[in-house]
Amino acid sequence: MSVSRIEIFKQMLANDPNNTSVLFGLAKEYEKAGLENELIEVLGRYLENSDDEGNAFGMLAGAYERTGQRDKARDAYQRGIETAQRHGHPGMAEEYRMTLVSNYE
């Protein structure tokens, strides 16, 4: 029986719980598996320990949307806009801005 990628990432985190690369990898696996609550929890940990450039905020906003937490999704998009701009990613910032306009106004 093979070990799932999620289990592999969890084992890696047992040795280094704040490893941002592993946290992001685990978040991507949770996203693929549709495990929204786990995705939200891991992205929260990732964002506490990482200087993300904006992508994780979009993932987080999407997870909040899929779980019906629209206020939190809006906040995550806004933080993503600010972060993307700070890191020189105007396209990402504009994508999040357009999502806010079309879905939240």
- Please tell me whether residues 41 and 69 are part of one structural domain: no
d(CA 85, CA 64): 22
Give pTM, 2 decimals.
0.93
- Please tell me whether residues 43 and 31 are part of one structural domain: yes
Q: How confident is the model at residue 105 (pLDDT cuts 50, 70, 90)?
A: confident
- Please tell me whether residues 81 and 101 are part of one structural domain: yes
- Please tell me whether residues 46 and 59 are part of one structural domain: no
Q: Which residues contact 22 (CB under 8 A, 6 or more apart)?
A: 9, 12, 13, 16
Q: How confident is the model at residue 15 (pLDDT cuts 50, 70, 90)?
A: very high
Q: How confident is the model at residue 2 (pLDDT cuts 50, 70, 90)?
A: low
Q: What angle do CA 52, 36, 41 make, to 5 degrees?
A: 50
Contacts of 15-21 with CB under 8 Å at 24 or more apart are 18/45, 18/49, 20/46, 20/49, 20/50
Residues 22-59: tens digit of each pLDDT: 999 999 999 999 999 999 999 999 999 999 999 999 99
